Chains A and B, each alone.
Chain A
Amino acid sequence: MAKMKVEEQAKTKARMSGSLMLIEALKAENVEVIFGYPGGAVLPLYDELYKAGVFHVLTRHEQGAIHAAEGYARISGKPGVVIATSGPGATNIVTGLTDAMMDSLPLVVFTGQVATNVIGSDAFQEADVVGITMPITKHNYQVRDISELPKIIKEAFHIATTGRPGPVLIDIPKDVTIAEGEFDYNQDVHLPGYQPTTQPNHWQIRRLVEAVSQSKRPVILAGAGVLHANAADELQQYAEQQNIPVAHTLLGLGGFPADHPLFLGMAGMHGTYAANMALYECDLLINIGARFDDRVTGNLKYFAPKATVAHIDIDPAEIGKNVPTKIPIVSDAKAALQELIEQQGKPADNAAWLAQLNEWKRRFPLHYEPEAGAIKPQKLIEMIYEVTGGEAIVTTDVGQHQMWAAQYYKFNRPNRWVTSGGLGTMGFGLPAAIGAQLADRSATVVSIVGDGGFQMTCQELSVIQELQLPIKVVIVNNQALGMVRQWQELFYDKRYSHSLIPNQPDFVKLAEAYGMPGLRAKTEAEAAEVLKQAFAIDGPVLLDFHVCADENVYPMVAPGKGLHEMVGVKACEELSQ
C-alpha cells in the first residue's frame, strides 16, 4: 500500500467533535452509503453529515434503514451502516438487528442516546438500548467519553466483519457527539477476548479426506458460510474433484450453481425430495457453513441417522450444537475448502449413490398443477426467472412466496439472493432490495414479496421512487398470510384465524401515489404481458399479481417429522403436465 500522505496523517490526529470523528471514521472505513433517520439525539451528527455531503439514504422508517443495510451487506460483502436516533429510533431497529444476527450479516449501527448527565432518569426519548440489544448484537458499546470513540468505531468495524459476521451497535450520548477530542484512527485493534479461528486444523482436514475416501454415500450441505467466505468457486471445485453432490440451505442458495449436475436443490422443510433423501440416506454429511437450523434438519431424531457428520464452521459454537459431530473443523469455509482441494484425496466410491440421487431428481421433481387462466405462484416465479435470464438479484420476505422463489428461481451464481432466513422477518424484502440495488447498481433487482409483508414496510416505495432505483416490486398477492393459512389448513382443521385479507388495498393505485407505475395481472397471459412491460421500463415498477389463493407450498416436512417423511411428493409419471 502507498504510504499515507503527510496531511492525511495530520488530519487523523486532529482535535474534532465526536460527530466529525464519526464522519472521518466512516470515510476511513470506505463507507459509501449510510441508511438512517434523524432525530433529537443525533442532531449534531446529522449537522456534520449535511456539511460533509456523505451519501445518506433517508428511509421512511428505521426498520427500512436497517433492512436496507442488510441487503447492502449481503450483496456487497461490506458492512451496512445505519444511524438511528435514541429511544423509538433505536427500538425500531431491533427487528433488523435480530435478523442480521441470525443471518450473520455485518452491520455497524449507530444510535443516538440522551446526554450522559440524564441517562437513567427516564429522559425524553431515552431507552436502555445497550441493554435491549445485548442479546441481538454480536457486540455493542455505549460511548461514555469522547476519548474512546475512535477506538470503539474501529473495533466495531473489525468485529462486524471478521469471524462470523454480525451486527455491532454503538450507542452515543448526545453530549459525546458534541464534545471535542483527539481523533486517531491509526491505532491497532487489540481485543484479547476476540481471536476468531480462520484456518483449519490439518489433522481434522486429513480425517475428513479419509472419511470421504471411505464413504459410499457422501453429501455436502452448503450454507451461507460459503457465501460470506466468498468460497463458491472453491465449493464447486471441491465438489467436482471429489464428485460429491451438494444440497443447499435456504440462505446458501447461489453458492453452488443450480444447473450443475451435482446439485440436489434446497434441503429442509420445503426442500426437494432428492436433497432431503440425500441427507437422510447419506453415510457422510459434510456441512459447510450451515448451522443445522431446525427448518433444515426437521426432527433431529431422524436427521442423517446413518451418517458420520463433518462440520466446517467459523463459529465453534455451531459445531455440535444441534447435531453430534465427528469431524469438527473450525475455519473459514474458503480456507478449509482450499486445503481440502490441495489434499487431492481419493474420491468416494459413490457411482451407485449418484445414480440413485439422479433417479430421485428425475422421478420426484418439484411440481405444481397448472390451472388454466389463473396465475400459479410457482409459474410466476418461473416467468420472472425467464424474463430476467436468471441473473437478477432476488429479495424476499418470509412465507410462501419466499419458498416458491427459493424453489423455482434457479440461482446459478452467488450473491443474487437476499432473504430473511433465521428470523423470518415480514417486511424485509422491499427495503433489502434498496440496499441490494445500491450495492450493485447495474444489477436487475426483483423484490418478491407477499401482500402481507409488503404492507409492513411499503412506505419505502418512497425511497425507491426518490432515488429512481429500477427495482421491480413483485407482489405475490393471494389475499392472505399464505403460510399461516397453509398451516391452518393442514394442522388447524381449516380454521383460518386472522390469516385471510380479502380487502387488500389497490396496490396499483398505491404505486401511482408513490409516483411509480403499477401493473396488475390476474391471468397467466396478463402476467406474461405485464412482466414484459415492466422489465422494459428502466425504472421502478410495482407489479400486483393475483395468484391462486389456496395454493400450498410443497413438498413439505411437517413440524416434528423427519426429512424422509415428506408430504406432497409426486413421481413424475403421476403428474398431469
Chain B
Amino acid sequence: MRRIITMTVNNRPGVLNRITGLFTKRHYNIESITVGHTEIDGVSRMTFVVNVDDERIAEQIIKQLNKQIDVLKVSDITDQAIVARELALVKVAAAPATRQDIYTLIEPFRASIVDVSKDSLVIQVTGEPEKVEALIELLRPYGIKEVARTGTTAFTRGAQKAGSNQKTAFII
C-alpha cells in the first residue's frame, strides 16, 4: 500500500541523511522524497511516498520517524483530504509534423512548453501524480527523450471532511 507521510524537521546538517538512513536501516522502500523550506525559519518540510506491506509497517515508520530528535511532527496524511502535487519535465521528440499534435494533447492537462529546439520540446506539467503519469503515457508514442519528476509534495487541506481518518503518530 502507498502512504504519503509528511513531516517537519529541524533544518540541520545531516537531517536528510538521518531520515533516509532510518528508511534503509528498517528496510522501508521510498518511492519519492521532497524537501523544502517552510514558513518557519530553520524548519523544513519533507514529504515521503512509501510503499509498505501493511498498516503495521506504516505505523512503525511514523513511530520510528517520531523518535528522531530533529523530527518535529510526522503525519500519515494518506487518508485525509489533501493537496498532493508533483512537477515533471518531459523532453519529447517533436518533428515539425507532430508538434501541433503535442500542443493539442497537452492542453487539457494545463501543461506548458518551456523549451523548444529543432527536434524536441520540453513540457512542464504539475498536478497529482496520476495526472502526470497519464500525460507521460500519452506522450510516449512521440518518443520520450528524458523525464525529470520532483516526487510528490503534499499537505492537508484547510477543511477536513467530517469523519476523515485522522492518523496520529501516537497510539496512547
Residues of A within 8 A of B (CB): 130-131, 134-135, 138-139, 142, 144, 159, 191-194, 197, 201, 204, 315-317, 319-321, 324, 328-330
Task: Tell whether, in the assembled complex, residue A330 and residue B172 are in contact, meaning their CB atoms are under 8 Å apart.
Answer: yes
Bound together, the chains give a CA A491 to CA B63 distance in angstroms of 37
User: Given A134-B18, A197-B172, A330-B170, does the pair A317, B64 have CB atoms closer than 8 Å?
Assistant: yes
CB closest chain-A residue, reference B56? A320
Residues of B within 8 A of A329 (CB): 172
Contacts of B64 in A (CB 8 A): 317
A201 pairs with B172, CB closer than 8 A = yes
- Whether the Cβ atoms of B71 and A197 lie closer than 8 Å is no
Q: B26 — nearest CB in chain A belongs to which residue?
A: A135
Check if B159 is an interface residue, CB within 8 A of chain A: no
Contacting B171 at CB < 8 Å: which of A134, A142, A316? A316
> Considering only CB atoms, which chain A residue lies closest to B169 in the complex?
A316
B:44-90 near A, CB below 8 Å:
56, 59-60, 63-64, 66-72
CB of A317 within 8 A of CB of B66, answer: yes
Extra inter-chain contacts (10) besides given A316-B172, A320-B56, A328-B172, CB under 8 Å = A130-B14, A131-B14, A134-B18, A135-B22, A197-B172, A315-B67, A316-B66, A317-B60, A328-B171, A330-B171
| B171→A193 contact, CB < 8 A | no
* Closest B residue to A325 using CB positions: B171
Q: Can you list 25 A-B contacts (CB < 8 A)? A: A130-B14, A131-B17, A134-B14, A135-B21, A135-B24, A159-B69, A191-B69, A192-B72, A193-B10, A193-B68, A193-B69, A193-B71, A194-B69, A197-B170, A201-B172, A316-B63, A316-B66, A319-B171, A320-B59, A320-B60, A320-B171, A324-B56, A328-B172, A329-B172, A330-B171
Q: Are B63 and A144 in contact (CB under 8 A)?
A: no
Alpha-carbon separation in the docked complex, A426 to B13 (Å): 35
Contacting residue for B72 out of A159, A193, A328, CB 8 A: A193
The CA of A139 and the CA of B63, in the complex, are separated in Å by 16
Query: In the bound complex, what is the Cα–Cα distance between A212 and B18 (angstroms)?
Result: 41
Contact (Cβ within 8 A) A193 B14? no
**Quick check: A135 and B25 within 8 Å, CB to CB?**
yes
Instruction: For B59, list chain A residues within 8 Å (CB).
Output: 320
Nearest CB of chain A from residue B61's CB, rounded to whole Å: 10
B residues bordering A, Cβ < 8 Å? 9-10, 13-14, 17-18, 21-22, 24-25, 56, 59-60, 63-64, 66-72, 169-172
Q: Which residues of A contact B69 (CB under 8 A)?
A: 138-139, 159, 191, 193-194
User: A314 → chain B, closest Cβ, in Å?
Assistant: 11
- The distance in angstroms between the C-alpha atoms of A201 and B171, with both chains bound, is 10
Give chain A residues whose Cβ lies under 8 Å from the Cβ of B68: 193
Q: Which residues of A are found within 8 Å of B17, using beta-carbon distances?
A: 131, 134
Partner of B172, one of A130, A159, A192, A204: A204
Instruction: For residue B43, give the distance in angstroms from its CB to the closest CB of chain A.
Output: 10
Complex interface: chain B residues within 8 A of A316 (CB): 63, 66, 169-172
Cα A329 to Cα B18 in complex, Å, equals: 28
**Most B CB atoms within 10 A — which of A139, A193, A201, A324?**
A193
* Distance in angstroms between the alpha carbons of A144 and B72 in the assembled complex: 22
List the A residue with the shortest CB-CB distance to B63: A317
Of all A-B residue pairs in the complex, the 9 with the closest CB atoms, nearest first, are A317-B63, A139-B69, A193-B72, A201-B172, A135-B25, A194-B69, A330-B172, A328-B171, A134-B21
CA A192 – CA B43 in complex, angstroms?
Answer: 12
Q: What chain A residues lie within 8 Å of B13 (beta carbons)?
A: 142, 144
- Give chain B residues whose Cβ lies under 8 Å from the Cβ of A144: 13
A142 to B9, CA, bound (A): 18
Q: Which residue of B has the minimal Cβ distance to A331?
A: B172
Residues of A within 8 A of B24 (CB): 135
State A131–B16 Cα separation when bound (angstroms). 11
* Interface core residue of A130, A135, A317 (most chain B CB under 10 Å): A317
- A193 with B63, Cβ < 8 A, contacts A130-B14, A134-B18, A135-B22 known: no
Give complex CA distance A135, B169 in Å.
21
Minimum distance in angstroms from B16 CB to a CB of chain A: 11
Q: How far is the CA of A320 from the CA of B17 in the complex (A)?
A: 26
Least Cβ distance of A332 to chain B in Å? 13
Within the assembled complex, what's the spacing in Å between the Cα atoms of A488 and B170? Answer: 44
Most buried by A among B14, B18, B24, B69: B69
Residue of B nearest to A130 (CB): B14
Q: Which B residues are CB-close (under 8 A) to A192?
A: 72
Q: Chain A residues with Cβ under 8 A from B25's Cβ?
A: 135
Measured CA separation A103–B74 after assembly (Å): 26
Which B residues are in CB contact (< 8 Å) with A135? 21-22, 24-25
CB distance from B44 to the nearest CB of A (A): 12
Minimal Cβ-Cβ distance residue in B for A194: B69
- What chain B residues lie within 8 Å of A194 (beta carbons)? 69
Distance in angstroms between the alpha carbons of A319 and B62 in the assembled complex: 13
Nearest-neighbour CB distance to chain B for A244, whole angstroms, equals: 23
Bound Cα distance from A131 to B15, whole angstroms: 11
For B10, the chain A residues whose CB sits under 8 A away are: 193
Most buried by B among A130, A315, A316, A320: A316
Chain A residues with Cβ below 8 Å from B71 are: 193
Nearest CB of A to B107, in Å: 45
Chain B neighbourhood of A130, CB < 8 A? 14
Q: For residue B65, which residue of chain A has the nearest CB?
A: A317
Q: For the complex formed, measure the closest distance between the CB of B54 and the CB atoms of chain A, giving whole angstroms.
A: 11
List A contacts of B171 (CB < 8 A).
316, 319-320, 328, 330
Distance in angstroms between the alpha carbons of A321 and B67 in the assembled complex: 14
Q: Which residues of A contact B56 (CB under 8 A)?
A: 320, 324
**Shortest CB–CB separation between residue B122 and chain A, in angstroms?**
35
Chain B, residue nearest A139 (CB): B69
Question: Which A residue's beta carbon lies closest to that of B43?
Answer: A192
The smallest C-beta distance from A200 to any residue of chain B, in angstroms, reads 8
Contact check: which of B14, B67, B72 meets A317 at CB < 8 Å?
Answer: B67
